Structures are given as structure tokens and as C-alpha cells.
Structure 1
């Protein structure tokens, strides 16, 4: 096992700016992947053509990643990435989470409501144009000018082509801007999902840990014009037993990292953002558990939402532990000091560190109101989300595109409309729970005497108001939403729907909170971060990789376990290990169909494996491929120590957890009778 002295290990990971970065570190963009360094580290021989094939074989599915595995649009991702689709297609009578979704024919594959998948086809540098748009501006004028320019670039690039999506992406926190162009699929159908218990064996106790024993894999299929998409560029299926030490690459869309933040910015996250987010998530989890225990119907409704909240809470816990780890933070501080010294030697104009430090007291003050009244308004209620979207879209669409809130620019309206009109099931009881929680927590955090809370609640209680709004609304009906969308501002204002009227009532103050945040936090942070990025490029050149932004990245490492004290484990788990770990009681009860197939399964088949790649949330479903471009599995988790990966990478502790193609083949063939998919994969 490779080893770095603790101070050096943390120093190497701290700002993603050490030159050179260490071994497997880095969530690299495909247009700046260090081919030579990766080949030297791993002993591989990949080239640009290999990168292009991997990029075009990788897909983004919702907030997850995925890999194309056949010429007929078949795509592998994680089961937890299709859990919303499974829930939307299920009823209490036919619950695919319990039975698995195993269509006998391709014609029986079902469309995921609102599901979209995308393949990155092109990357274009638009940095100069974006930087010029903000020249000489400050405050909200700066952010709005940048947003408007991004909208224009996207509109010009896609030019109304509904089969594409164009997105201007900020990299290096404003140091670069790239236009990402995607091939977009809006007809995505579920092709296979195992029993939920097979994918989540061990439950929350095993989440973010290893050894793991989970078949967290599923298949979707891309369709065009009612037919399976033609996808000649795809990964080749390799279900052979994996070998420890094998070099692998992980291609996916990691959500967000904060490795380029200054120490002052991280202190705000540690002291304000994470504590608040964790307290809110903890109470929501408790309310949902209580709700789920009230009836079988409630248990069905809350199953997927509880899993999501638990996942977020546990991820936040791991990140908090990193930020209060003295050695970890000392290493970051040491690296920042080195960076500042290099920047000073290069005579960087201004002092972006001081500018960012000056923003922190303001951000700390504004975060609770911004979070509650704008960022998480409605508490995740689907019905409130519909109302807010309809109200804002109506107001924004009456303006020229470059004067709108960025999410409603012409280049993005089609996606807004698609999400709004998707025919998903709505559960009023869960919506009321979410609204009640949000209203009560907003009153608690902002206080009863805050005038914004008085507007929010009037003379009603959180319980009474949420019940009234949910009982009276008709927004669960897609036809009602369609009429309001098509009718525009006049129809929205004339609506007698109580939730629409409520969203109209509270929108002004939410907009004011957002405007204050953009002017006093977002704009000065963006300005200083742009300066910081220039200093970083000057100090370290192209050895720098950007923070994760939900865009496609490539990371690399090896199949291996770890010998960190308290986290010692080998690289593999097997089905025999699953049988041994099972107790028969939740959460260590084996899924019924999987247990029934025990005698048909080779117990030595590798189920899950650990890889030293650099991943984070959003990397779920990422294809894990070898030098030959063969897919060996899909990333579905990481270890608890890896949650510090948001702020830095350490090869000694960071491990991605992978479900192997061998395990998936076994499940398809020996458990769920999906021989037609086995044949399509070439795994007969």
C-alpha cells in the first residue's frame, strides 16, 4: 500500500493545486485530462481516441451518471438512480421496489416520467466572452449580466434544437467558462431494476461503508421517435472476475466539490451551512419515519424519500468530521499558505483572499433566510414546486430572455416545461408533511417576529396552513398545470387555486432575499474567485483541475482495499460474504428472489469491489472501465472517510465502492430471468 506522511498527504489534496497533483487525485474534464500522467501512474496506454470513445459512451441521467452498454440504447446505472422512476411506476398493489422490475419483452419497458438522459458531444471555450460580459460591473448587475450572456450563448448554440441541450459551465470558480453541448433523450424507459432489498442490503447502517454486499445496478433504455436509440459507440461488457491492482477509469458527473475554497470560506461551511443543513435534515428524517410508521400506505409513500434524506444526512456528517479534523484542516492551511506565497511572488493584482474573507460575515448572516425562503422553499413539496414554477415562469416569460432569472431563459425553458408537465404521482399527505416541516422550521430559524415569517404564515399555523393549501390545490393534475402554463401571467393571476395564490403572495419576498444574496454574496465571491483562479493558473499551470460542477469528468485509480486503522478491508466482497452477513432481520435480510436463487449462484462471484478513484455524490452510476474500454462495474457509493473528498483527496482513505459486472450478470441470469438482457450484453 502506498503511503504519504500525514502532513504531506493532506497538503497534496488540499487545494487541488499542488504541482503535480498526487497519483489518482483529480476529477478531470475531458478536454484537459492528463493522459501522460495517468499512463505513467497506471502503466496504461490510453490516448485521445480512447477518451473520445469513453466520453461518447458515458451518459448523465438526472442527478446520476451512467454508461451505454449496447448498440440499442441500453444503459447501466445504479438502482438508487432509478428509484424515483420505480416509485413513480409503482402502486401499493404492484410495487416494483418489492418485486423488482423485470419486463419479459423490450415492448414492456416503461417510460420514466420526466426522465432525461444526456451524452456530452462537444466542449467549447467561451471564457473571453463571459469575462467581458461582467467587465466594470458589480453586485447584482454583475451576476445578471453574466447570466444573460450565458443564456445568449446557449440559445445561439442550440438554436431551438430540441434534441440538444447547451449549457455554459463555470470552471475553476469563474476562471474558465465552457459551453457543453449534449445530445438529449427525453424518452427514457426502465429496462430492469432488482428488488430494492437486493440493492440496499445493510440499509443506512452499511451506507458509505465497505465491505458492501449490494446489487445496486439497474438498466434504462434510450428511445428516439418511439424506437430504441441507435448507439454504436458503447462500452463492451466484461463480466470476468476482477483482479486486484487493475488500473481503472471512472467516467461520470460528480456533483459538487469545494476544494478550491479558501480557509475562510470553509469556516463558513463548517460553522453555519453544515450545522443548519444537518439539523434540518435530522428533523425531516424523524418526521418521515414517524409518518411511515402510521400505515402501510405511508410506508410505501415515504420509502424513497426517507432513503434520500438519510443519504444526505450521512454525507453531511462525514463532511463535518473532515472540517473539524485538526490534521486535515492544518494541511489545507499549509497548502493555502504555499499558494499565497506563490501568488505574492507573481505579483497578483489585488488580494482575493481578503475580498473573500470580507464576504463571509455577510454570507453567515444571510444564509438562513436565503436557504429557507429561496433555495429550499416549499421543503421539497412537489405541489409547492409546481406552484412556484408556474408563478415565476409566468412573470419571467413576459420579459425579454436576457432580463429573466437565468433558469427561465429561452435556452432553458423547454427543460422547465418538461419537468413541470411530467405525469408523476403526487401524494398529498407527504406534500403536507414537507410543507408543514418547512413552514415550522422557517418560523423557528427566522423567528416569529421576522416580517417575512408573518407574510409566510399570516394568522395561520404551519399545520393549518399546509393542510389548507394541499387540500385545496388542483396542481396534481397535469392538465391544470398545462392550462396555467399556456395561459401565462393573466391565467396565473386569475387562478383561484390556493397554492398558486400563496406562491404569488410570498414570491416578492423570496425574490428580494435572492437579490440580496446575489448582490452581496454571489457577485463579490465570483469576482474574487475569478482573480484567485488567475493566480492559481499562474502558480501551477495546467496541473490544476477544477472543482466538480455536475459535468462529465474522468478519474482513475486501481482496484484495491485499504489498511487505514479502523478501515482495513480487502478489495472484494462475494455472494458467500452476503450469505454470511445476512441475519434474516432488516436491514440485513436478503431480498426474497435473491435468497431463493442462492443455490444457483456461484458464491465466489465478486459482488462489490473498492477502487482508489476520486469520486463524490453525482458519481453514482459512473461506469468503471479498463484500458481496453471494457466496463467492469458501476460506482454506487464510497466509504465514510471519503466524504471529506468534498474538500480534498487522499489516496490512503478515499475509496469508491463498485458493483461488478459479474454480479450484475449473475443477477440478471440466475435471479431475475433477464436472459434477453444478458444476450444483448454479449454475456452469454
Structure 2
């Protein structure tokens, strides 16, 4: 997330709302264009409808979800619970292969370290946040803003462990809102299908349509050992959808970069994406090779490989967008329009040139990005042991300071969530840890060069292979009790620890902190200052009728059920189970999951399996409830198309399609395939 925000921490004015597509926008719930949506779709939604949708929408890790019963049953995607499934599985009992189908509430199992949140309140804190940075520059500006956000969050939550508060920057510093969430830390898996049912087509079908995947799963929120009472929830509607029908999607899109300047887009195109793609592709190759060495390795690497393949293909789509002359030309025209409007206003024109300020940052960002990415953003290469070591060391060092002087993620308001994650009981696989750590060390040496003093400090006299083996083999951080002792023991326990990973981080983390400080001083701070200035100009020119970039927080978008008719994607709006049987072969990734195949004769082949929407979504929207105008849930977002990956930089209605698993398909799976009669009854489905 830090890398994504850093790479996109600048502003490009959008064209006036009137010239944008009517269905464009990932809108916040306190500024949703009700009249515009109703006019576009022919609906009659109102504020009460919005409030119910907001209170029924759930943030689950990096995904989205929706409440679907009064007993805290929540639907999301199967790929959103994949880590939970992997953590609960063993090579002997692999729920990814068999599905997780508990027949009673008592059999529902807790997802280690998982939490879920519902947005309960939004309040404006813009004045406080902007005042905190007045007259400051560089890292002093960044630290003052971070400290003020921590104070606001602490005041807002007042020490209530059941609530989480987050200061959210909107319009790249043009607004700041305090989001208050009701937080649940006992999240249990209630159903997951066989992985082959949810991922039919594998990487070949990923980011495409037609799709034939039952990518859905259910979790349940518990508190004090009992399911939470949730009287506000979506009503389940398993009726066959109708092409052209209006649909809304409520979720937590991760991050868009639609407000980037042309100068920043060139940095993303020329530096950020190429480096990220090259590095991800090599790790993917190493993990595939590792998985082919044994059945045990295949089990261990399954979840990380799926995530990497998703990341790599998404990046490929974004690279294609940034070399599409027609698409990037429209972005350039939007910037030109905004600059001309600002230049025509003497008051705005005299306030300085934020575009020039942002352009001046780009050479510095290009130079610093590799080191910042490798030593701070992706340190450890995904190794959970290394990540735990960094968190434990920094937490001990930072907690010794006043909250306002700490790194932002260690402020008092953020420690409870951090503590939950670091102490969660998850399986750790040393062989996988070594592959990830070895890869990171080798890539860091390759990109920063052997003679870089930071690389010499990181490796010493050892090779990446030898160092990673020694650190992983000798570490006890896979034991939750060991992590707890270090967390609770604080700095004395950390300094006295003989764990090789802890000692390694103690010796080398100063270099990573220096890289981070330089990034904040020379890139983040001047970018944020220019962003705030551009945001003020945007409000002066366009008002608040323009939506902000996505920030991983709750948004609402809308569109219609429809197919596509452009080069590269010509297809109808629906796929069916008959289409699945027709597409299936006996060979992966087009082999049908065993339980699903065994139920073929019980399934109505004309049942709609997946459908496409013109809604405006992006990564993080996975699991988002798809809702009709009556507020009923009709599906869950689980994918989009490769051409839709340009959505990071701008919405293009002609190609943008969200891919939805329908409630009809989920009902069929629960009832006719997996025998989940209890859930079917709870959803209110009549046979």
C-alpha cells in the first residue's frame, strides 16, 4: 500500500463532471451523486438506501464483503478467504481441494489474524490536518501530518477496542475525513468451495470474460464467542438477472492514480511498472519451480503463486494502458483543460505552479524508487518471518517514544490492529520463507549493485543463499509464543534476543530507515504539498462534483448488466453452467472440481453463473456486493477484464467491465453441490 500511495501521490485535475461518463466514479458515501445516479439509471434510491448499503458493507482484509443475514453471515470471494483456507489446511486435510463445508456453527473455524470492519461514521477533519503542516516542508511536514492524524484517531476512538479510527486523505490532501469503523477480530470461515470451482480457468481466464467461476465464500462475525446480531443486512435475491438492469457495487477499491500529472505518469510508465513487473515475474518463476519439486511444496506455494499471477497480469494491463496513445491522449487533454482554467483565474494563477513542483520531484523519485522499494516497501520479499522481525524491532524502538514522534504505523491508535496481526497463529513454512528471503536478497544486490554500502551491510560476507538459510533455520519467530514474548518484553527483550532474524534487523534496519526518511523528505513531502495546492485549485474550478481517487476505503459505484462489443472483448452479459460444462476438459486449469462435476445432473444448466457490469471497480473491489435498486444483493464482484486495468488511470466505459458471481450460482452451489442447507435456509432461499 505504501508503494502504491507513494507512486501516485500527486494530482491531475479531471475534466468537469459534466463531460465524464455518467457511470464513472468510485464515490464516497458522504458525497454520492444520488440525483445523477437516479437520472442515469432510472432508479429512485435515497439517503436511507445509501445508509443501509453502507451499514451492510464490510471491509475484510484487502477485500470487500457484504452482510447477508441477521446473524452476521458475510459473503465475499473465495480468493479473499484463500489465506484463511491455507492457514486452516494441512497437506493431509487440504480444504482448497475438498472445500470447507461445516454443517453446524460449532464447526465454523476462526481465520488466524483476520478482522472485519463496518464503516459507521464519517466526519471532516480537513482544517486540523492542513493546519498541522502549515509553514513546514520536508520530513517535518510529513511528521507533523502523521502526528496530527494519530491524535485525531486516538480522540475519535477514545481507547475503545471495538472501534477503529482512520484519517483518510481525499483529493490528495484537498480533504481529510475521519472514518470510524466497528471492528470485529473474531472472523470465522463458514463456507468455501473447492478451489477448482472458484478458480476454473486459472491464470488463463484471469482478468477475462466469459468466466465460469463460483468465486464466493462465507465468513461469520463473532463477538464474545457468539455470532454478532446484524439486523441491518442485504436481502438475498437469487432470481435470474436481467440484461440492462441497474446495479450498484459497494466496496473498498484499493488505489487509483487518476489524479496523476503527466510528469508522474511517465515515472510510473518508465520506472515503477517495469521494475515491479520484472521483479514479480522472477519471484513467480521461482515459486513455480519450488512448487514443482514436491506435493508438499505445491501445497505451500499455491496461495502465494495465485496472488503473484494476479499482480503480474494486472501490471501488464496497466503497462498496455500507458502506451495506448488514444487513452493517454485523453488524460493529457484533461490536464491541459485544467491548467488553462487555472491560468485564466488570476487568483489561482498567482498562487504558484504545482505542476512544475511535481515535475521537479520526478528525477529524484526515479533515482530513489529502487532503493525505497527494495529496502522498505518490499523488504523481506514476502517472508512472514522477516516481516515479523522488522515489526517487532521497530515496534519496540518506536513505543519507547511519545506517540506523536513515532513512525505513523506505530501510533497509539494503530497499535491494537498491529498487535493482532503480529500475534496471530498462522502456519509458517521454512522452505517457502527461504525462497522468498533468498529472492529478495539476490534482487536487492542485483538492482542496487554489489558495491552499494547498504547491500554490503545487508549481506556482509554471506551469499543470499547462505544468509537466507541461516536466518530462517535459526529463527524461532514462527512460534506465536516467541513473538508474544518479544512484543510484550519491549526493547530490552529485543536487544537480548538471540534470534538471528531479530539480530539481523537490529544491525541493518538503520539503512532502511534512512531510505524511508530520504523518501519522505525529498519525494513524499513536496508531492503532498503540491497535491494540496492542486486540490484547492480543483475545488475552485470544479467544486466537489468530482470524485476522489480510491484509497482502500468504502466507495459506491454504479452501472448496468451488459456485455461488450469492442476489439479484444466481444461477448454477452452472462455465462451459465451449461457454458461451464462446454468449456470443461479433463486437464487443468479447465478441469471441473470433483464435487461440482458430481452434481452436474442436479444443476439447472441455464442458471446464470457469472455476469458483466459496466461499473467502475479496481483491485480491492474483490468481494464487493453487487446490489440492485431495491438494495438486494445479486452477486459479488470477483474480477475485471485486462482492458479494464487502465481503470487505475481513468475510466473507459467502452472497455471497463466488472465480473460478478451471481447469487443464483452461489445458491445452486450451496444447495445442489455442497449440501449447505443451513446456510441456504439462513439466506431465506425457498427450494
Deviation at 1:566, TM superposition (A): 2.1
Deviation at 1:434, TM superposition (A): 0.4
The answer on whether the counterparts of 1:292 and 1:300 sit within 8 Å (CA) in structure 2 is: yes
Q: Is 1:411 paired with 2:413?
A: yes
1:574-589 matches, within 5 Å, as 574-589=576-591
1:172-571 matches, within 5 Å, as 172-347=171-346, 348=348, 349-571=351-573
The answer on whether the counterparts of 1:120 and 1:180 sit within 8 Å (CA) in structure 2 is: yes
Deviation at 1:16, TM superposition (A): 4.1
User: For residue 18 of structure 1, what is the aligned residue in structure 2?
Assistant: 16
Q: Is 1:84 paired with 2:86?
A: no
| Structure 1 residue matching 2:130: 3-state secondary structure | helix
Q: Is 1:606 paired with 2:608?
A: yes
| Structure 1 residue matching 2:118: 3-state secondary structure | strand
| Structure 1 residue matching 2:564: 3-state secondary structure | coil
Deviation at 1:18, TM superposition (A): 2.5
The answer on whether the counterparts of 2:623 and 2:637 sit within 8 Å (CA) in structure 1 is: yes
| Structure 1 residue matching 2:278: 3-state secondary structure | helix
| Structure 1 residue matching 2:70: 3-state secondary structure | coil
Query: Hey, what's the Cα distance between the residues in 2 that align with 1:69 and 1:37?
Result: 28
Query: Hey, what's the Cα distance between the residues in 1 that align with 2:537 and 2:259?
Result: 12
The answer on whether the counterparts of 2:74 and 2:220 sit within 8 Å (CA) in structure 1 is: yes
Query: Hey, what's the Cα distance between the residues in 2 that align with 1:175 and 1:58?
Result: 26
User: For residue 647 of structure 1, what is the aligned residue in structure 2?
Assistant: 649
Q: When the two structures are aligned, how many residues end up with a matched partner?
A: 671
| Structure 1 residue matching 2:566: 3-state secondary structure | coil
Deviation at 1:15, TM superposition (A): 5.2
TM-score norm. by structure 1 comes to: 0.98
Query: Hey, what's the Cα distance between the residues in 2 that align with 1:643 and 1:33?
Result: 24
Deviation at 1:356, TM superposition (A): 0.2
Deviation at 1:303, TM superposition (A): 0.4
Q: Unmatched 5+ residue regions in structure 1?
A: 1-13
The answer on whether the counterparts of 2:58 and 2:66 sit within 8 Å (CA) in structure 1 is: yes
Match of 2:575 among 565, 573, 590: 573
User: For residue 6 of structure 1, what is the aligned residue in structure 2?
Assistant: none
RMSD: 0.7
The answer on whether the counterparts of 1:564 and 1:652 sit within 8 Å (CA) in structure 2 is: yes
Query: Hey, what's the Cα distance between the residues in 1 that align with 2:431 and 2:592?
Result: 31
Deviation at 1:344, TM superposition (A): 1.2
The answer on whether the counterparts of 2:13 and 2:538 sit within 8 Å (CA) in structure 1 is: no
1:25-64 matches, within 5 Å, as 25-64=24-63
Query: Hey, what's the Cα distance between the residues in 2 that align with 1:385 and 1:406?
Result: 17
Query: Hey, what's the Cα distance between the residues in 1 that align with 2:467 and 2:194?
Result: 38
Deviation at 1:663, TM superposition (A): 0.0
Query: Hey, what's the Cα distance between the residues in 2 that align with 1:385 and 1:651?
Result: 40
Query: Hey, what's the Cα distance between the residues in 1 that align with 2:163 and 2:62?
Result: 18
Query: Hey, what's the Cα distance between the residues in 1 that align with 2:563 and 2:73?
Result: 31
Query: Hey, what's the Cα distance between the residues in 2 that align with 1:56 and 1:593?
Result: 35
Query: Hey, what's the Cα distance between the residues in 2 that align with 1:78 and 1:455?
Result: 42
Query: Hey, what's the Cα distance between the residues in 2 that align with 1:572 and 1:461?
Result: 53
User: For residue 168 of structure 2, what is the aligned residue in structure 1?
Assistant: 169
Which segments of structure 1 move beyond 3 Å, counting only runs of 4 or more?
14-17
The answer on whether the counterparts of 1:23 and 1:651 sit within 8 Å (CA) in structure 2 is: no
Query: Hey, what's the Cα distance between the residues in 2 that align with 1:346 and 1:164?
Result: 44
| Structure 2 residue matching 1:467: 3-state secondary structure | helix
Deviation at 1:584, TM superposition (A): 1.1
User: For residue 140 of structure 1, what is the aligned residue in structure 2?
Assistant: 139
User: For residue 10 of structure 1, what is the aligned residue in structure 2?
Assistant: none
